[in-house]
Structure formats: structure tokens, C-alpha cells
Amino acid sequence: MTNEFHERNRLSWDAATAAHNSHKGDQAAFFRNGGSTLFPEEVELLGSIEGLDLLHLQCNSGQDTLSLARLGANVTGVDISDEAIRFARDLSEQSTISAIFHRADLLTYFAEQASTPGRFDRVFASYGTLCWLSDIDAWAQGVAHSLKPGGRFVLVEFHPFAMIFDEQWNMRYDYFDQTPIASDGVSDYVALSGEGLAPDGYEAGVETFVNPHPSVEFFWGIGDVVTALAKNGLVIEQLREYPYANGWKGFERMRDSGGRRMVPPQDMVRLPLMYGIAARRAGR
């Protein structure tokens, strides 16, 4: 059944990805002119990556992948969406920034790589990735298996506590309910976030996008994530929580507090909206 869920999500992402990129203008020119889509949080947790082999999980259309390559890493990106990987390869060629891209369901990719462990100095994932994974333990095992001894895994993700709210900030979802959630499909969250997710300037692009393919999301609390990583031999070195969400206006009346850090409206208390993990595979 999980394979069926992943296939639904692949189709949904194929449809949404085209809409997302329609709002971002000439991305190849953005990169040729020195642009980067990375935020300070992930750069700090990753540390220096020059000359290192880096695996970027669920890389979407490759913007962060190419930004990591520009910092000197040898980067491999993996994503389930055919449209995302097609766009990423084109963007790599047009921007003249080299990276390798694989189109694959991430859990399938990990299984296929089981015979070649320890290939990467860094493994990286960010922003809205875990909710598309049906098996957090298989994911953590794949992360650990991909790292060289002493290698580091970095995750920057939206905080699961924020997911108890609906878009109007009403408490609606049970934090501890891990029943898969069916939805109308991957939304055009780039349109909803405007310049927050279009650093080179927002363009109208596709308007009133409706995804023809429904999707299925999974919920993993911070305890689930940390436990899965620890069970598979990773030493948690940092766990940080942030009172803002980079780029993403996921709720009504969110505002930019500076640097595209989106925070709740002024009449609300601060909430954990994002978290970061840095973990090391034991050994040298």
C-alpha cells in the first residue's frame, strides 16, 4: 500500500512542480549571476563542504542542489518526481553548475544502494521532505548506510508541532495521530509564499493551480525522527528549534521578519515552526 501512496505522490509532485517553477523567472540566469537558494541555518549545520561528496535527498528541482555544488561539494540529488529531475538537469546545464541527478523513490534508491555503503561525507535534506516518507526507520537506515564513518547528516525541516494547526491557526490535527492523511494534492505553495520562495523575484506564472492528482502525507514527530536516527547508529550532535519558517507562508497572516524568515502574526505568541538536526555516523 505504501508503494501505491508513493506513486500517487509522484504524480501529484509532477503536476505541482511545473506550477512552482512558473513563478521563479529565469533561474539559470539567477545562478549564473551568483545566486543561491540556501538559508543560513542549513549552511551553518553543514559546515564547510568544499571537496566533499554530498547526497541531497528529495532534491526537488535542484535549486538547493546547485547552490550546494557552488559551495564546492560534489553533489548527487535524488527525487521521486520526473518533472523535478528533468528541470534540475536542464537547470544544471543552463547554469553551468555540475551535479548528478537521479529520478527515484528515495526508499527504493536506498535499497538499490545497499551494496555500496559509505559513499558520502554529507547527507542533506530540507523543508517539507519527511511528510512524504511512509517508513521513517527505512529512511534513517538509508541515511546512515549512505554516510562514510564520521560523516554528517543534516536535516532542516518544518516543525511537526506547527502541523497541528490548519491554515487559519486553529488547532485541528492530533500531534500523536500517525494515520496517513489524504489531501487534494501538492499545492502551489510557491504562489502562496510569493517572494519568500522566489528569491529572484516572484512572477505570476500559472494562476489558480488545481492539482489533478491527490496525495498522501505521513506524520513524524521529532521523537520519531531522532529515535530512528539514533537506532541506526547516528550520534545526534545538534537539535535546534526556530521560531520562524524559512520562505514558507503556510498559515494566514504570516509576515516576513527579515531574511525571508516567516513568523506568525503579531497578535500570536512565538511558536516552533522549524527545527534542525546535525548527526554524525560513528567511526572514522
What DSSP line would sit under 110-127, residue for residue? HHHTTTS---EEEEEEES
Q: What are the domain boundaries of the chain?
A: 2-281
Q: Does the structure show a pLDDT above 70 at 2?
A: no
Looking at the structure, give the CATH architecture of the domain made up of residues 2-281. Answer: 3-Layer(aba) Sandwich (3.40)
Given this model, what pLDDT does residue 84 score? 97
Mean pLDDT for all residues in the chain:
95
3-state secondary structure of 223: helix
The runs of H, that is alpha helices, within the chain are: 2-21, 27-32, 40-46, 63-70, 82-95, 106-112, 136-146, 189-193, 222-231
Q: How far apart are CA 41 and CA 101, in angstroms?
A: 24
Give the percent of the chain with pLDDT over 70: 99
Q: Does the structure show a pLDDT above 60 at 91?
A: yes
Q: How far apart are CA 122 and CA 153, in angstroms?
A: 6
Count of C-beta atoms within a 10 Å radius of residue 206:
16
Q: Are 13 and 216 in contact (CB under 8 A)?
A: no
Given this model, what pLDDT does residue 23 score? 94
Q: Does the structure show a pLDDT above 60 at 260?
A: yes
Q: Does the structure show a pLDDT above 60 at 254?
A: yes
Q: How far apart are CA 270 and CA 256, in angstroms?
A: 14
Given this model, what pLDDT does residue 201 score? 87
Average pLDDT score over residue span 236-262: 96
Q: How far apart are CA 148 and CA 8, in angstroms?
A: 33
Contacting residues for 258 by C-beta, under 8 A, at least 6 apart: none
Alpha-carbon dihedral sign for residues 234, 235, 241, 242: negative
